[in-house]
Chains A and B, each alone.
Chain A
Amino acid sequence: MKTVNEMKLSFPSKSCNEAFARAAVSAFIAMLDPTVSELSDLKTAVSEAVTNCVVHGYRRDSGTIHISGKITEDRRVILKIRDTGVGIADVKQAMEPLFTTAPEEERAGLGFAVMQSFCDKVRVRSATGKGTTVTLEKRISDAR
């Protein structure tokens, strides 16, 4: 499917950039004129993915978070959120609702469950010591 727009972003893994990432993605998809709930779904999913890079991927260290975005002719938004942090040993287990490796930091273990419920597709590629890439895909309904 033909790509009608693309973007790339890189920023340091500071928690203040979680809000920046949501705002940037909102601006990127504005051309599709999403509904309030479609916009809120994507913002929430992006927030989860970026927060995971900050909290888990880079833990106490700092690193760079990369987002690349694509909008296709058939109105699909495809976002890749990537870190080069610690990686995930068992992706299947990590994606189970309520599973968390950071309960003492008051994590609920819901990030992946939120991404899956708010997007059409979620793909996770990860290698320990190398990092994690989460791909989110959501189709925005036709122009009203």
Chain B
Amino acid sequence: MRTEFENGILTAYLDGEIDHDAAAKIRTRVDASAQALRPRVLCLDFGNVGFMDSSGVGLVMGRYRMMKLTGGTLRVVNVPDRLYRVFALSGIEGLGVLR
């Protein structure tokens, strides 16, 4: 995972397979960067994610709550079609974070 910080926007380029094991590692890294940089927007880029189960939804919901607490916003971008079904089941579309 690569991260980038520009104009108050912290972008995390997620890759590989997001399961329970990987989500825990991503969470630790993203949250540490967010704590240090205090971004106004946290952007999770799913463009290079090949696989995701419901742990990915938990990851997004947790980051959504974290950003809300600090008055920031979350964006989820470049979700590949094949991952979309898991997000669709979650009702997460209602949060307005998916782009």
A: which residues have CB within 8 A of B? 15-16, 18-19, 22, 36-37, 40, 43-44, 47-48, 51, 54-55, 97-98, 105-108, 110-111, 113-114, 117-118
**Distance to closest chain B CB from A73 (angstroms):** 29
* In contact, B53 and A54 (Cβ under 8 angstroms): no
Q: Which residue in A18, A37, A43, A113 is a CB contact (below 8 Å) of B20?
A: A18
Which residues of chain A come closer than 8 Å to B62, judged between CB atoms?
Answer: 106
* In contact, B54 and A114 (Cβ under 8 angstroms): yes
Residue of A nearest to B60 (CB): A108
A-B contact pairs, 25 of them (CB 8 A): A15-B20, A15-B21, A16-B21, A18-B19, A22-B17, A22-B19, A36-B82, A40-B82, A43-B51, A44-B51, A44-B52, A44-B86, A48-B53, A51-B20, A51-B53, A106-B23, A107-B54, A108-B57, A108-B61, A110-B86, A110-B90, A113-B54, A114-B89, A117-B89, A118-B85
* In contact, B86 and A19 (Cβ under 8 angstroms): no
B47 at the interface (CB under 8 A from A): no
Interface residues of B, count at CB 8 A: 23
Q: Is the interface of B mostly helix, strand, loop or mixed?
A: helix
Which residues of chain B come closer than 8 Å to A106, judged between CB atoms?
Answer: 23, 27, 58-59, 61-62
* Residue-wise interface mask of B (25-52) relative to A, using a CB-CB cutoff of 8 A (1 in contact, 0 not): 0010000000000000000000000011
**Distance to closest chain B CB from A68 (angstroms):** 21
* In contact, A108 and B19 (Cβ under 8 angstroms): no
Complex: how many Å from CA A19 to CA B45? 22
B98 at the interface (CB under 8 A from A): no
Q: Which residue in A51, A55, A108, A117 is a CB contact (below 8 Å) of B85?
A: A117
Complex: how many Å from CA A130 to CA B91? 33
* In contact, B53 and A19 (Cβ under 8 angstroms): no
* In contact, A110 and B57 (Cβ under 8 angstroms): yes
Residue of A nearest to B20 (CB): A51
Which residues of chain A come closer than 8 Å to B61, judged between CB atoms?
Answer: 106, 108
